[in-house]
Each structure stands twice: as C-alpha cells, then as structure tokens.
Amino acid sequence: MSEAMVTPVLEPIASTPRTDPLTSWDAPQWQGLRVVVAGLGVTGFSVADTLVELGADVLVVDGNASEENVRRAETLRIVGVRDVVLEKEATTALPRFDAQPPDVVVTSPGWRPDQPLLMQAHAAGLPIWSDIELAWRVRERAGRKVADWICLTGTNGKTTTVSMVEAILRADGRRAIACGNVGTPVLDAVRDPEGFDVLALELSSFQLHWTHHIEPASSAVLNIAEDHVDWHGSMDGYVRDKGSVYENTRIACVFNEAAPITRRLVEQADVQEGCRAVSFSTDTPGLSTVGLVDGILVDRAFTENRAHEAVALAERSDLGAVAPQHTVSNAAAAAALTRAVGVSPTAVRDGLRGYDRGEHRIQLVATSRDVMWINDSKATNPHAADASLAAFSSIVWIAGGLPKGVTYDELVRAHGHRLRAVLLIGADSSALRTALAEHAPDVPVESPLTDPSGRGTEDGHAAMTAAVQRADELAEAGDVVLMAPAAASMDQFRSYADRGDAFIEAVTAVMRQHGWNVDDDGPVSG
C-alpha cells in the first residue's frame, strides 16, 4: 500500500463534558447543541432531521450538489436546520456557528477518517459520532418502548443474515426491523411512534469506527477478510473496528467456528457479566454451538440439556432451491443471534423459510441446456466471491471491476481447478488477470470490449452483454455461468444492483435469442 493510501489512525474522542449528559432523548442538553453533520445521504438526512427534532443547532456539509441533495437540503431548511452547504470547499474545513466552534460532529459512513474536516474536528478535541452512536444515546424516551439491539457485522453475508434475523424475530411475534447499514436508517427506527421490540442492526466497519458505546443483547462478527483496507489504513485497523461490535454485549457474543479470528475478537472484548460465547458452524455442533447435522440446523447452545441434546431448528431445504454453504452459515448465525433473545425453534424455521432473499446474491436467473446462470453481483470482494465459487464445480466465471486495493492470488489458487473459462469485465481488471495467469495458466481468459491498452469500456451494460453472449458460447452441460465479480461496481455501473440487473437483462436476451421460455415471475428456463 502506498503512503498516499494510508488513512491516519486517530484515537477516538467519544465525549466531552458538554456531551456526557446526552444519554436519552429527553436530556435537556440537546437544546442548542452545535452539531456539524458530515454528509447528506440517507444517513446524513436522518441524522440532521433527528437533531433538529431534539432542539440542536445543526449545520450540514456535503461536497455533492446533486439534485437529490438539493431536494434534501430544501427539506432540512424548512424543518429548521441552520444551513446546508453543498460545496466541495466546505468539506475541507471545520465550520463554525457565528464564530463559535461546534460541540460535536456526526459523520456519514462514507467519510474517511483522513477527510480534512474530520481531522480538524479531531485536532480540536471534538467527539466524532456515527449515526449508530447518536441512535444509542437517544434510544430511551419517555412513553416509548426501548428495543433490544441485535448487532452484526462481517466482511460478507451481513445483509442476508440481518434479513434472516428480522424474519425470525417477526415469526416469533416480535415487532422487529432490519436497519443500520441496510434498509431503514437506525434513527428512523428509533423514532418510530409505535416502537420496536428488537432492532436488527447490520453495521459496517465504517459505522463501527465512529461508534463508541452500544450494548447489544447479542452480537456477531460473521467473518473477516481483506476489504476496505484503504479506508481503515491497515488490516489491523479494519479488524479492530469490526471486533468492536462485541464490546458491552449482554447475552451472547456469536462467532464463526470456521474463522478463528472471530473467536479471538470475542476473547478480547470487554463484555457484560454473564455474557456467553456461542459459535455457529456448518458442521456437527459441539457445546454452545449452532450447527448442521444431516442437513438439519440444530442448537446446542440455548437448550437446558445442551451437554446431551440438540434442538432441531430448520432443514437445509428451508433455505431455498440454491442454498450453498455460506447461506447455511448465515442461517446458523441468525439462529444463534435470535435464540440468544429467546425465540422459539419454530420461529427459526418459519423465519428462514420466509425471509426476503433479495436480489443479486446467489440468484438463479436461468437454467438452459443443463447450464445454470447465477447472479452474485453482491460479491464485491474476493472473500464473497470465494463463497460463490466454492458452491459449484465447473464454472464459466464473469468477474472483474474496481478491486479496492485487494489481491486475488489466494482466490485463484483455491478455485482455479473449478474454472472452465473466465470473462473479465471492469475498467481495469489487470490484478485479477495477473493472478489468473500465475495460478491458473491453463484457464482461458477473455476480456470482451477491452481496448488494445487493456482498458475496459466505460459502458458496463455493453461489457456485460458481450460477456454473457460469450459465456453462452463457452458453457457446456453441467456448467454454471457465475457472475461473481470479486470487485466493486462503480467503475462501470451505478451500483452492484445495476450490475446485477445488467446481467439479468443480458441473460434474458440470450434466452430469447434461442427461443427459450422467459418467465416473468421467476428464472428463465430452456
């Protein structure tokens, strides 16, 4: 990693005498609190809106004057925000309030620690909070229900697992919502007039970096792999921020039996008295583990006679037609997190049967000539792609994109023997091409719509169409055409969802060219 890419490690400042009393919605010290909100995305808007409702003096800064941000700024000014500044220059200096410094900065997850405004705030001795930190401080409010928090993080599988947690809780009759880094902003959930029994929080490493104190009922790190190293400054910084989710957990710290680093993070955490360490696994479970026996998910952690008995929770088939190993692992984690707060075995089964599987994650798009076409656009890093590649034995792999500073050698070494061919997309997939040449030299590698210099087209949809058409020519009976890019999407697409949609559209077009069926309600078949 070059010097320019290293993010400074700033010792966090959690609070000051001015902010120490801010531990409930009703604390009078919110009135007149001078707050800079850094970022005006969905998170920043919810933060600013909440702070105005609390009576704070709020100034919002964002360097992007997009149409959406202009609309958000107009709304916030109407509800009482002091000002919203949408200028790049405004993000380079800590703003003041009529010559007075701010009391606290609340930052959106996308802002790196080395961003000049945040570095100036830190140098001035100001607390810097995430929206999660703010939500924890205002969760208690007179006349409102106070929800338990179930918190989970990990390099991959977070959204799937938190969706499973939400579905299991609801199947148990609890009012619950998945929020945080997915779906509803946590502050909107905290402000819900009816209140929730449980909040299921997906937390990114960015959010955890600026979160200083929460007390989850149960918590989990699903896995750890190289990702976002440029943001955190080092792999150690990334791991440290992920592991902070375990701090102050009340009932159960849930870790991955197959990832020893997650066990170590539990061992290092300062938890509350009586908190248990509980693992999840896709193998036969030992004591205090949720695992798999003959295709049945079983619990040996939250049952009275766990030394001699296991409670059946669900069957692998409850997870859908395509349930690879990592999906089973996510289900075991979700079961452990929810069993910790007392849900019934039946609720685990019903929740896993009914959870919203979403799109772009091991999504079966088509089956034709005994070839499966799988969309895994959410595989935005090598660790996520590793799980997808491990699920199949003969693969035409569509991969490539924005690599975010990661390496591909280990991924290709592990799965080169599964690859029939590789079709590279992405503006620059040279790192993946180099790894393939070194560790899988016999695998054909092609780059549709790549110019002589090796640069891919900026038109991601055109690149995807070309890759899918070539995959159709290469795939043989028994193969899987797997679009699992192992890279981010922003070089050629608006988002991973846009990339996944491009794959689906291209596959559908190929099926129609062959005169095969297109079912609007499900996968294409031929």
Q: Say how far apart CA 44 and CA 186 lie, in whole Å.
A: 11
Q: Residue 368 pairs with which residues in a beta bridge?
A: 371
**Closest CA relative to residue 202, chosen from 223, 227, 225, 185:** 185
Q: Does 407 carry a binding-site annotation?
A: no
Identify whether the C-beta of residue 230 lies closer than 8 Å to the C-beta of residue 222. Answer: no
Q: Does 181 carry a binding-site annotation?
A: no
User: Using the 8-state DSSP alphabet, how is residue 457 labeled?
Assistant: P
Ordered DSSP codes for 241-295: HHHGGGTT-SSEEEEETT-HHHHHHHHH----TT-EEEEE-SS---TTEEEEETT
Encoded tokens for 84: 């919203």
Q: Say how far apart CA 397 and CA 389 lie, in whole Å.
A: 9
Q: Quick one: 268 exposed, middle or buried, by C-beta within 10 A (0-12, 13-18, 19+)?
A: exposed
Q: Does 7 carry a binding-site annotation?
A: no
Residue with tokens 């190929």: 510
Q: Quick one: 14 exposed, middle or buried, by C-beta within 10 A (0-12, 13-18, 19+)?
A: middle
Using DSSP bridges, classify how beta strands 104-107 and 128-129 pair: parallel, antiparallel or unpaired. parallel
Q: Say how far apart CA 455 and CA 487 lie, in whole Å.
A: 16
Identify whether the C-beta of residue 487 lies closer than 8 Å to the C-beta of residue 403. Answer: yes
Q: Does 156 carry a binding-site annotation?
A: yes
Phi-psi region of 103 (alpha: psi -120 to 50; beta: other; left: phi over 0): alpha
Q: Does 160 carry a binding-site annotation?
A: yes
Q: Residue 32 pairs with which residues in a beta bridge?
A: none
Q: Does 465 carry a binding-site annotation?
A: no
Give the chain's length: 526
Q: Say how far apart CA 414 and CA 218 lie, in whole Å.
A: 33
Identify whether the C-beta of residue 22 lies closer than 8 Å to the C-beta of residue 11. Answer: no
Q: Does 159 carry a binding-site annotation?
A: yes
Instruction: Return the CA Rg of the chain.
Output: 24
Identify whether the C-beta of residue 525 lies closer than 8 Å to the C-beta of residue 367. Answer: yes
Q: Say how far apart CA 101 and CA 239 lie, in whole Å.
A: 33
Identify whether the C-beta of residue 290 lies closer than 8 Å to the C-beta of residue 278. Answer: yes
Q: Residue 314 pairs with which residues in a beta bridge?
A: 297
Annotated binding site for ATP: 154-160
Residues in binding site: 154-160
